[in-house]
Amino acid sequence: MWHSATVRLSLGFVALAIFCLGIADLSITAHEPWHELLRLLQGLVQPDISAVDDLGVALLRTLAFAFVGVGLGAAAGFLLALAFRSRLVRSACAFVRAIHELFWALIFLQFFGLHPLTGVLAIALPYAGVFAKVFAEILEETDPLPEHVLPAGSGRLSALAFTRLRDAWPHLVSYTSYRLECGLRSSAVLGFVGMPTIGFYLESAFAQGHYNTVGALLLLFYVLIATLRLWVRPLLVPVYLVVAPFCLGSGLPIVWSNVSRFFTEDIVPAPLRHGEGVSGLASWFGDLMAHEALPGIWHTLVLTQIALVLTGILALVLYPLVSRHFFQRRFDQNRTHRSGNAKPGNRLAHLLGHGLLVVMRSTPEYLLAFILLQLWGPSMLPAVVALAIHNGGIIAHLVGRRSNEVNLRPDAPQGLERYAYELTPRLYGPFLALLFYRWEIIMRETAILGILGITTLGFYVDSAIQEIRFDRAMVLILITALLNIGVDVFARHLRAKLRLRHTANCEP
Amino acid sequence: MSTLALIDAVADYGHQRVLGPLNLTLKRGERVALVGKSGAGKSSLLSVMHQHWRGRGAALMPQELGLVASLSVFHNVYMGALAMHPTWYNLVTLAKPFRRDVAAIRPLLERLSIDDKCWARAGELSGGQRQRVAAARAIHQGGEVLLADEPVSALDGPQSETLMVELTRAYPTAVLAMHDVELALRYTDRVIGIAEGGIALDAPSVQLTAQDLLPLY
């Protein structure tokens, strides 16, 4: 097995992560970290719903921003997907989705202020880039023959509606509903930069040490996501989309002079603004690179590699929880001739496993990192753990689902041997494909976690904005975007080299 | 239109030439059978013809049929007439078909004995039923010339006779790739034999017997 390229590559990644562990700051600095964690758990067990006056408003705003943002993003993304053959469109989409929605929010905040438009665009813009790419891939996968045999002169729209669109429709819908779930997470997190969503209330509840309120908010958020399938019905979606724009709240009015000042003054590099010419610009840029960009990039890379490997380990350990080969559902047992495990406790284990993964993947990394940071104090540790929990939960879920497509022979070994000999070797390829796919996402999140005080790129972006040096912030955001695009290209190259296949559909 | 012509037509698959160059003229009202063993280039020739003549009203019925599995039989047949209606009309039809289109398509399905499947999804049908749906689409499309690749391969004797009658009645001019030599001779008036990407035989059907075509296989 040591001769396999995938195994050697994996070991290389693990070695790199161990090296990174050596240089990363992973200390716990809080005085009583476990005491704080205990208080939070108590808050979750005894949530206090009455504590937040406007719990309903928080939920409503979270939903409204998610619906409007994802709706606009999907519509724009669909139109862009139709023009995805154009190189310009492809590059523009890659660029907007390489910038995290929180960075977009920070940018829009500078000129739209706390107007709802800031939150809506912060979601809609990067989502449009993602939708365009995935929709284009889904449309590409449909059978081209029905369109080919259409009579000459069939209008483009008619042809699309009757053939490719019709074929792709179920996939487009399922992907869009998946993204709605992501949109709810994004919307919640936008509260941390001032939008009136759940994150806003969470932050203030934490600041005041109201853990029962925190518990109530978190539980409500989980309920919202867990019941998504119940209240997002095909017939209701248009109603939600029409109502949502009216539920965004009024925020603060846009000051249009800020908008023009942002573009004509704020983001123009300081030396140019002060007429210091090219030499001034060079030393300004050199200073920015040496003191902010390079340390930021270094920390972002170190943290990303540790989080990536931890995510992989967690996913490999947890996927059996949702695999029918380990925890079988009752109704499956009649179908298969040999059920292996038929203990009555199995159904409970199955439910608990699913529940754990749902909680893991529906907690946004940012939220998780924020909570852990409150408990353990500032270091890279909260970020690594948060990234691994969220992404590990997602990959474990997808790998587990994939494992259910595997059919084992009736006398296949049980337990650990089944895990090590039968399933993991078969699932390792898809697992790596998913992990490499999430590499870019993990890096994007790593950069953004800097806003919480961990010295990744986001930290320097946030400090520059605090100091009202938007020119520096813009350059740093640009660098972050290029880094993300670079990792994405590299991961795609690795996937192609190892011939890891992936389908557009199971990926965020 | 009086004649359709291909001049020095070729088809390549990757870097490999699979057809031609060949010349071919088709007179109005002429029904041609394309015969030859599989892989000889019949399907390539049909697709070259479709490329050249699509704008002049050619309808294609490919071997893989090109049905949209998730659409109903009615909608698949209606797609033959997409070019005759404005876009809004087509989009409304997708949600709720107009009575007059149903009235036009129903009798056609009846003649092919699949009217009981009118609102079934094309993906749920058997191979023979799907082939008749694709034929109905081509018939509903109408036009100058029909290009059909093995149009009755999945049908049994009487059904294939019915379908051949319907197809030839709707399209006086047609090019039909067929492996059933006897059927081909009865329903066409010219036979073109294809071998190794070129024309190996071109003769009126009446002068040929099934025996004469054997060397092609």
**Residue A488, token pair as written in the block:** 């994405």
Q: Same structural domain for residues A42 and A57? A: no
- Please check the confidence at residue A341 and state whether its pLDDT lies above 50: no
Report which of residues B1 and A318 the model is more confident about: A318
Please report the pLDDT score of residue A501 as a whole number: 60
Q: Same structural domain for residues A68 and A24? A: no
Q: Does residue A443 belong to any structural domain of this protein?
A: yes
Residue A172 · residue A135 · CB < 8 Å: yes
Q: Same structural domain for residues A69 and A99? A: yes
**Number of domains composing chain A:** 2
Q: Do A169 and B70 touch (CB under 8 A)?
A: yes
| B43 to A88, A336, B138, B174, B198: CA distances (angstroms) | 37, 45, 17, 14, 13
Q: Do B82 and A162 touch (CB under 8 A)?
A: yes
Q: Same structural domain for residues A80 and A194? A: yes
Q: Same structural domain for residues A230 and A366? A: no
User: Whole-angstrom Cα distance, residue A304 to residue A445?
Assistant: 9
Query: CB-based contacts of B65: which residues, under 8 Å, 6+ apart?
Result: A145, B130, B131, B133, B134
* A5-26 average pLDDT score: 88
Q: Same structural domain for residues A231 and A285? A: no
Residue A434 · residue A274 · CB < 8 Å: no
Question: Best interface-test mutation with A: which of B49, B60, B73, B79 has the largest number of A CBs within 10 A?
Answer: B79
Q: Do A157 and B87 touch (CB under 8 A)?
A: yes
Q: Spell out the SS3 assignment of B105-131.
A: HHHHHHHCCCHHHCCCEHHHCCHHHHH
Which of the following CATH numbers is that of domain B1-57+143-217: 1.20.1250.20, 3.30.70.3270, 3.40.50.300, 1.10.1040.10? 3.40.50.300
Q: Does residue A127 belong to any structural domain of this protein?
A: yes
A417 in B contact zone (CB under 8 Å):
no
ipTM: 0.81
Which residue is associated with the tokens 């090296």?
A: A19
Q: Do B79 and A169 touch (CB under 8 A)?
A: no
User: Whole-angstrom Cα distance, residue A370 to residue A454?
Assistant: 11
* A87-96 average pLDDT score: 92
User: Whole-angstrom Cα distance, residue A121 to residue A69?
Assistant: 7
Q: What is the pLDDT of residues A392-449, one digit of tens each?
A: 999 999 899 888 888 888 778 888 888 888 888 888 988 998 899 899 899 999 999 9
Q: Same structural domain for residues A238 and A286? A: no
Query: Considering only CA atoms, which of A365, A488, A498, A400 is closest in space to residue A438?
Result: A488
Residues of chain A in contact with residue B75, where contact means CB-CB under 8 angstroms, are 162
Q: Who among A145, A153, A166 is closest to B83 (CB)?
A: A153
Query: CB-based contacts of A407: which residues, under 8 Å, 6+ apart?
Result: none
Q: Same structural domain for residues A226 and A111? A: yes
Residue A55 · residue A196 · CB < 8 Å: no
Q: Does residue A19 belong to any structural domain of this protein?
A: yes
The sign of the CA dihedral A405, A406, A412, A416 is negative
Q: What is the pLDDT of residues B22-63, one digit of tens each?
A: 888 998 889 999 998 888 888 889 999 998 898 888 999 999
* A266-277 average pLDDT score: 80
User: Whole-angstrom Cα distance, residue A106 to residue A267?
Assistant: 13
Strands (E) in A142-292, as ranges, are: none
* CATH code of the domain in which A79 resides: 1.10.3720.10
Q: Same structural domain for residues A219 and A303? A: no
- Please check the confidence at residue A340 and state whether its pLDDT lies above 50: no
Q: Does residue A207 belong to any structural domain of this protein?
A: yes
User: Whole-angstrom Cα distance, residue A172 to residue A382?
Assistant: 35
**Residue A8, token pair as written in the block:** 């050697």
Which residue is associated with the tokens 């047992």?
A: A333
| A198 to A163, A202, A332, A403, A437: CA distances (angstroms) | 42, 6, 39, 35, 29
Q: Does residue A9 belong to any structural domain of this protein?
A: no
How many other CB atoms are found less than 10 A from the CB of residue B208? 19
Q: Same structural domain for residues A171 and A281? A: no
Residue A357 · residue A397 · CB < 8 Å: yes
Query: CB-based contacts of A16: which residues, under 8 Å, 6+ apart?
Result: A305, A309
Please report the pLDDT score of residue A77 as a whole number: 96
Residues 125 through 144 of chain A touching chain B, CB cutoff 8 Å: 143
Q: Does residue A163 belong to any structural domain of this protein?
A: yes
Query: Considering only CA atoms, which of B67, B35, B5 is closest in space to residue B176?
Result: B35
Q: Same structural domain for residues A416 and A455? A: yes
Residues of chain A in contact with residue B85, where contact means CB-CB under 8 angstroms, are 158
Domain span holding position A34:
15-46+276-331+340-508
Q: Same structural domain for residues A38 and A124? A: no
Residue B176 · residue B192 · CB < 8 Å: no
- What is the domain partition of chain B in residue ranges? 1-57+143-217, 67-142
* C-alpha B139: how far from chain center: 9
